[in-house]
Amino acid sequence: MSVNGTGSKQAGYREQALKLFPWVCGRCGRDFAGKQLRELTVHHKDHNHHNNPVDGSNWELLCIYCHDNEHQRQLEADAHGSIKRDEHVSSTYNAFADLAKLLEQKK
């Protein structure tokens, strides 16, 4: 089965991304569960919706607000032309940053 599955492309890679990543917005750090999960979207880091590697390396989960903000920033950068965007910058939030330390403390 391909990453995109047999349904729509978006549903396929969203489903895959939700299996790979914690349900946390990569920008604001908001946690998602239950009915709120529908507000978590898949953002393509390189802005190419056809680039869907199986390992999810081109995806990040963003809430609908941060996702809209990211695309608005891209539109503004493109409109001004002189503003360069760094396509390699992704989230600085790491939901599991101290996990290893916490697990060590429990031993």
Check residue 58 and report its DSSP letter: T
pLDDT tens, residue by residue, 28-68: 999 998 889 999 999 999 989 899 998 999 999 999 999 99
Distance of CA 80 to the CA centre of its chain: 26
Tokens of 28: 């604001």
Q: What's the mean pLDDT when you consider all of the chain?
A: 80
d(CA 35, CA 23) in angstroms, rounded, equals 12
Residue 103, pLDDT > 50, answer yes
pLDDT top residue among 2 and 99: 99
pTM: 0.63
- For residue 34, give the 3-state DSSP assignment: helix
Instruction: Give residue 65's pLDDT.
Output: 94
Name residues whose C-beta falls within 8 Å of residue 51's C-beta, 6 or more positions apart in sequence.
44, 58
